[in-house]
Copies of this chain bind each other. A is one copy, B any other.
Amino acid sequence: MRAEILAFGTELLMGETLDTNSAHIAARLPALGIDLHTVTIMGDEMGEMVEMLHRCMERSDLIICTGGLGPTKDDLTREAIAETFGETITFDPDLIAAMEQNFRNRGQDMPETNKKQAGVIPSVTVLANPRGTAPGWWAEKGGKIIIAMPGVPGEMVLMWDQQAAPKLKERAQGTVIMSRTFKTIGLGEAAVGEYVSSLFGRDNPYLGIYARPDGIHLRIIARAADQGEAIALIEPMEAEIREALDFAIWGVDGETPEERVGALLSDRGLTLAAMESCTGGLLASTVTDVPGASGYFKGSLVTYATKVKSIAGVEPALIEEHGVVSAEVAGAMAKAVREALDADVGIGITGVAGPGPQDGIPAGTVYAGVAMDGAVESTVMRFPPDRPLVKRRAVVMALLQVYRMLLERNG
């Protein structure tokens, strides 16, 4: 099935809003066996919208539209699809009643203008919008499908994931492409490659290897007639990868270091605390992005001023001797915060976030110390001197250092 995406909205053409909807949909089409050909962003101009829809109908089987379903007269997606299909919009009384009920549930009366959003044509099946007022359209005629969803990302994602994608899964009959990614830590690209060298060079499933900020990734890509067959291709290769490299794999697909560390701490009933300098609280903020973090995270001391490190339990003499950006101070920070906050695992991070050097140490130099079980390990990292990037990467590497040390202790 050949598809294209049309994102309608003048605000997208003004560059004020990033079109994240198209990327969300695009990332999910390969697993449905749907081949995405083009993404087009255009304004809300009726004549151009109809012309574009006609051209899309000539070359594609599926047209996925986002935006232009609001209640104002600038919202023209319904009208453009109706004209393209040569049908007339009528208003569905059941849909109006449901929309009015939605408004009442929020203690409001539905404005008259919102009735426009209850418009339908004979070729349309309505897609419900549990988060907003604009219902979606599944319009189908002469073997062509046009899906129209709201432009608000929260509404679009839910409607796509729960309604449009499952309906497409029943229909789509192309080659399904599925992938699974294994994220490793502690080994270089060459070493990871050696452990699984016998798996490279196959066509289907294909194995790729990629160096990423959070370690070396292995990615299996399988092509098959349906998702079940694709999974059946992936699983034996996955078993071989796990057998060779399980000790180094910290996550699969979208898993994050903070989720994996959190799960491991929860499993073992351990707690975590941190003392952060150059990451400025980003480690704590990242750890607490995971729901349930309060079960294992005690807190972090963001000791941005050097003097505050001493208040927090790091010996001034140690800072004097080794400098504040040093492996020794990172380790001492990890030990001090572990004791001060009565945690099982302590993390200490000190470095130069940039943009400029500090005390002769180049921007991008970061030391991370981890203290647990009487052991303290410090590592040094060097990143490109870009302030937000240094902070992000240092957090990832510090969390993966915790993960590795926890694994080594079996638990």
Q: Which residues of A contact B (CB under 8 A)?
A: 12-20, 22-30, 36-43, 274, 276, 279-285, 287-289, 291, 293-294, 297-305, 308, 311, 340-341, 353-355, 387-388, 391
List the B side residues contacting A297 at CB < 8 Å: 280, 304-305
Pair A284/B304 contact, Cβ less than 8 Å: yes
Given A27-B15, A297-B304, decide whether A40 and B40 contact each other with a Cβ distance below 8 A. yes
Contact: A301 with B304, CB < 8 Å?
Answer: no
Subset of 28 A-B contacts with CB under 8 Å: A12-B39, A13-B36, A13-B37, A13-B39, A14-B26, A14-B36, A15-B22, A15-B29, A18-B20, A18-B23, A19-B19, A37-B42, A38-B40, A39-B40, A40-B40, A280-B284, A280-B297, A281-B283, A281-B284, A281-B285, A284-B304, A288-B304, A289-B391, A291-B354, A291-B355, A294-B304, A299-B302, A311-B340
In the bound assembly, the distance between CA atoms of A293 and B43 in angstroms comes to 41
A40 surroundings in chain B (CB, below 8 A): 38-41
Say yes or no: A23 contacts B27, CB within 8 Å.
Answer: no
In the complex, the count of this chain's copies comes to 2
Determine the distance from Cα of A343 to Cα of B341 in the docked complex, in whole angstroms: 22
Inside 8 A of A27's CB, which chain B residues have their CB?
14-16
Chain A interface main SS type:
mixed
| CB-defined contacts of A311 to chain B, threshold 8 Å | 340-341
Q: Which residues of B contact A29 (CB under 8 A)?
A: 15
- Determine the chain B residues whose CB is within 8 A of the CB of A43 once the complex forms: 37
Interface centre among A42, A274, A302 (most CB of B within 10 A): A302
**B37 and A341 contacting across the interface, CB-CB below 8 Å:** no
Are A280 and B291 within 8 A (Cβ)?
A: no
When the two chains form their complex, are residues A23 and B15 in contact, meaning their CB atoms are under 8 A apart? yes
The 5 closest A-B CB pairs, nearest first, are A281-B284, A280-B288, A15-B27, A15-B26, A281-B281
